[in-house]
Structure formats: C-alpha cells, structure tokens
Chains A and B, each alone.
Chain A
Amino acid sequence: MCILLSLCLLQKKKTGIPAHSATHHKLFSLESDLLRTGHHILKMAGRVFSSWWAKMSPYYTGAYQEMWVGLGVMTYLYYKVSYGGKKAVKGKPAH
C-alpha cells in the first residue's frame, strides 16, 4: 500500500500531469480515499470500543479488581519462563 502511494505521488511530481485526468475526477482517488476509509474504520473502532467499555467498565474496574493481581503475577511468570534471566541470555550464542 505504501509502495502504491509513493508511486502515485512520484508520478504526479515527475510529469506534472495528474494521475487521473480531469474528466475522471469521480474515479477512485488512491490517496484520499484510502485515508478516508482508514479514518472511518478508526472512528468505527472507537465507537465499538466505547460502547463495549460502557457496558463492561463496572466489571473491570470494580468486580474483577482482584483478577488484575493474578494477571500481573502470571505475566511476570510468563516472561521469566519464556525469556529467562542472565543465564538464558548467556546460553543463546551456543546456538
């Protein structure tokens, strides 16, 4: 997608001719339509998240407070097991 965007911009800069002619101005315009779609998707995601949070926030902030302690403990243990300490780092160059 980035390659396509950059190609389009380059074409405009080089020749000075727009990527599409004036008669076809209603056709899909690569840069602005992609950005607009991305913007809409972000807004939609924001709405979805805020509606979810409106329903679930009493749970996560009130009822399940003790869960976060356990989650923190498990996250810490996972990092210890997966990535180890100094000994594990020393052992890696042996591969």
Chain B
Amino acid sequence: FMSPTYLGIPLIAVALTLPWILFPTPSARWLNNRLITLQGWFINRFTQQLLLPLNLGGHKWAALLTSLMLFLITLNMLGLLPYTFTPTTQLSLNMGLAVPLWLATVIIGMRNQPTAALGHLLPEGTPVPLIPVLIIIETISLFIRPLALGVRLTANLTAGHLLIQLIATAAFVLLPLMPTVAILTSIVLFLLTLLEIAVAMIQAYVFVLLLSLYLQENV
C-alpha cells in the first residue's frame, strides 16, 4: 500500500470508476425507487447543512463539495471490504484533491476581496510588537492547509487499513491457540467499526475545505 505497484495501478482505475455505478441517476418519474430516494434525501440534507454558513457566492461550490463528499465516502467505505483497493490511501490522489481546491479558495479570496483576504493573516487585537511574527505564523498556517488536508486523509486511511491487516494476520496465525483468537477477533471487529469513522474523516475533509472557503468569501 506504500506506492502504486502493478497491483495498485490497474486496480485504481476500477476502484475510481466503481462508485459511479452505486449512485443511479433519478428517472423522469415523480417517485423513484427507494435507493434513489434515500440517496437524494441524503444529498439534499447534506448540501443544505453544508451551505448554511456560506453566502450566495459560496453556493456555486455546492455541487462540487457534495459530489466530493460522496466520492470520498464511497471510496473509503468500499475500501473497508476485504480484497479491495482504496485509492484514497495514495497520497497523490489526496494531494491532487486538496491542493487545487485550496488554491482555488485562496485565489477566489484574492480576486474578489484582496484586502480582506490578506487581512485574515492578522487576527484582531494583536499587540503591535507581535504583528510581524504573527503574520509569518499565519502565512505558514495558510500554506500548510493543503498539506494537512491531503496528509490527514492519507494517514488516517492507511493507518486504519494497516492496523486491520496486522491484527487480522495475528488472529489468523494464532488460530490454533483458541482463547487469544476470541479476544483478537473481537478487537478486529471493534476496529472495523471504529474505522467507519472514515465517514467522519470525510466530514472533516469537506468541513475543513468549507471552512477555508467560508473564511475567504465571507468576512
């Protein structure tokens, strides 16, 4: 899982296109089937919650943010199944998602309200001697955002998958020794449910992205 090997590169194409199949397009009827209704309800609710703090300019990003969220959730959840490949464990993909989106928010801020965007680098009420230091610190924190976004997603998923692999291997090897296996398999199950905090991971991702957009486009 460290780098795209021959196993990784062909599989990534399948793993990236498979989520497309899981979300059917709504038909022209008034009432769709249950799956589409459920997905549509979730999408609408999520978009509504996501766009609450944003002003009108930010609403252009609704489709992008919601589809990003769905994409990441599906990729992560599918990766929890055995013998699947999770593309989001690859740093290249996560950085490829994080950097352009973060850069777009920065450029939007610079284009529409440059003074306000630059003003975010200095929190209100700082003592005068601290101003230069704080501007440097805020600039560093601004530039570290895409790095943090990408690496956070990669590290969380990779660590979770690694733990599952290790513990499952240990449980399998210790199968002749009965009592240990029961404890280990229960730990594996518990860890799997914990790893469905991959869903929370996605919420964190989109939330943080949204936060930067919010900062740039509002005051």
Residues of B within 8 A of A64 (CB): 64, 104
CB of A45 closer than 8 Å to a CB of B: no
Number of interface residues of B (CB under 8 A): 17
CB of A74 closer than 8 Å to a CB of B: yes
Once the chains are docked, how many angstroms separate the CA of A66 from the CA of B217? 14
Residues of A within 8 A of B101 (CB): 67, 70
Once the chains are docked, how many angstroms separate the CA of A44 from the CA of B104? 34
Interface residues on A, range: 10 to 19
Give the secondary structure class of B's interface.
Answer: helix
Digit string of B88-120 for contact with A (CB within 8 Å is 1, else 0)?
000010011001111111011001000000000
CB of A35 closer than 8 Å to a CB of B: no
Among B96, B100, B107, residue most surrounded by chain A Cβ atoms (within 10 Å): B100
Residues of A within 8 A of B92 (CB): 78
Once the chains are docked, how many angstroms separate the CA of A70 from the CA of B111? 15
| Chain A contact residues, CB within 8 Å of chain B | 59, 63-64, 66-67, 69-71, 73-74, 78
| Chain B contact residues, CB within 8 Å of chain A | 60-61, 63-64, 92, 95-96, 99-105, 107-108, 111
In order of increasing CB-CB distance, the 4 nearest A-B pairs are A70-B100, A70-B103, A66-B104, A66-B107
